[in-house]
C-alpha cells in the first residue's frame, strides 16, 4: 500500500488501480481488533473514482455494515434526493466515511480508531482528487477540520485546507440523519446543497508542493 507523501500516480487508470489496492488492504485490515471482529463488511466507499465532489460521513451504521455500501438507509435516501435536486446522482460523486468499519452499537469512534483509519481516507482523497469535500455532520466536520467548532457554526462555509497531501475546498454540511429529525435542519441542508454546483465549478485549490 502506498503511503501519503509518495510520488502521485498520474493517469486516471493508474489512480483507479491504486485505489483498488487501497480497498484490498482495507478489506483485510485488523488494526482495530474490536471493529474487525464485529464487522460484516468493510465499508470502503462507493461512487465515481474520478469525482470532483466527495462526501465524508462519520462511520457505517447497521445497514451499511450489512450491505458494504455507505449511506444506504433513510439518511442515504435523503442524500440521494438532495443530489437529484442539484442535478447529480451517486454515480457522479464519491461517498465515504472517516471509519471504514461500524463501531459496535453505533458508538462514537475512538481516537485510536480514527488514527488507524485516517490513512485510508487520505489515500482516497489523494487518488480520487476531488476539488470539493462535503463533510456530513458534526463528527466528520470536526475531524477533517481538526477543530472542535460544532457543525451549527460552520455549516455552509467553505474553506481550503489540506488533507494528507491534497488541498481541497472543504464544505461542512448537516448530516442527513439530523435533517430527518428536524425540519429546520433540512431547510438549512437544502440551502447549503444548492451552493455545491458553484463550488465544484470553481478552480481546484492550488496544491502543496510534493
Specify the 3-state DSSP secondary structure of 206: coil
Q: Which CATH number fits domain 12-201: 3.40.1160.10, 3.40.50.300, 3.40.50.970, 3.40.470.10?
A: 3.40.470.10
Contact between residue 126 and residue 166 where contact means Cβ atoms under 8 Å apart: yes
In this predicted structure, the answer to whether residue 11 has a pLDDT above a threshold of 80 is yes
Model confidence pLDDT, tens digit, residues 70-109:
999 999 999 999 999 999 999 999 999 999 999 999 999 9
What pLDDT, on a 0 to 100 scale, did the predictor assign at position 210?
73
pLDDT at residue 8 tops 60: no
Q: Are 22 and 73 in contact (CB under 8 A)?
A: no
Measured between its terminal Cα atoms, the distance across the chain in Å is 19
Closest Cα to residue 42, out of 55, 16, 24?
24
Q: What mean pLDDT, rounded, does the chain reach?
A: 93
Q: Name the CA dihedral angle for 79, 81, 87, 92, rounded to a multiple of 10 degrees.
A: 40
C-alpha cell at 180: 430527518
What are 105-164's pLDDT values in tens digits? 999 999 999 999 999 999 999 999 999 999 999 999 999 999 999 999 999 999 999 998
Under the banding of pLDDT at 50, 70 and 90, the label for residue 7 is very low
Going by C-alpha positions, the residue among 17, 13, 97 that lies closest to residue 63 is: 97
What are the start-end ranges of the H helices in 48-131?
62-67, 74-85, 111-128
SS (H, E, C) 153-200: HHCCCCEEEEECCEEEEEEEECCHHHHHHCHHHHHHHHHHHCCHHHHH
Amino acid at each position: 500500500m502506498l503511503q501519503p507523501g509518495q510520488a502521485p500516480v498520474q493517469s486516471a487508470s493508474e489512480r483507479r488501480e491504486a485505489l483498488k489496492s487501497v480497498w484490498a488492504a482495507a478489506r483485510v485490515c485488523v488494526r482495530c481488533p474490536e471493529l474487525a471482529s464485529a464487522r460484516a463488511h468493510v465499508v470502503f466507499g462507493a461512487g465515481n473514482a474520478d469525482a470532483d465532489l466527495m462526501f465524508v460521513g462519520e462511520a457505517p451504521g447497521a445497514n451499511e455494515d450489512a450491505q458494504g455500501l455507505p449511506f444506504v438507509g433513510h439518511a442515504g435516501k435523503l442524500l440521494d434526493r438532495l443530489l437529484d435536486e442539484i442535478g447529480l446522482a451517486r454515480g457522479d460523486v464519491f461517498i465515504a466515511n472517516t471509519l471504514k468499519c461500524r463501531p459496535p452499537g453505533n458508538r462514537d469512534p475512538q481516537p485510536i480508531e480514527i488514527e488507524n483509519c485516517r490513512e485510508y481516507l487520505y489515500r482516497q482523497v489523494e487518488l480520487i482528487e476531488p476539488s470539493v469535500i462535503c463533510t456530513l455532520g458534526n463528527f466528520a466536520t470536526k475531524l477533517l477540520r481538526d477543530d472542535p467548532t460544532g457543525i451549527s457554526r460552520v455549516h455552509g462555509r467553505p474553506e481550503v485546507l489540506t488533507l494528507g497531501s491534497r488541498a481541497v475546498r472543504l464544505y461542512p454540511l448537516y448530516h442527513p440523519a439530523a435533517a430527518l429529525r428536524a425540519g429546520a435542519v433540512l431547510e438549512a441542508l437544502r440551502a447549503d446543497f444548492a451552493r455545491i454546483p458553484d463550488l465544484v465549478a470553481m478552480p481546484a485549490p492550488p496544491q502543496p508542493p510534493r
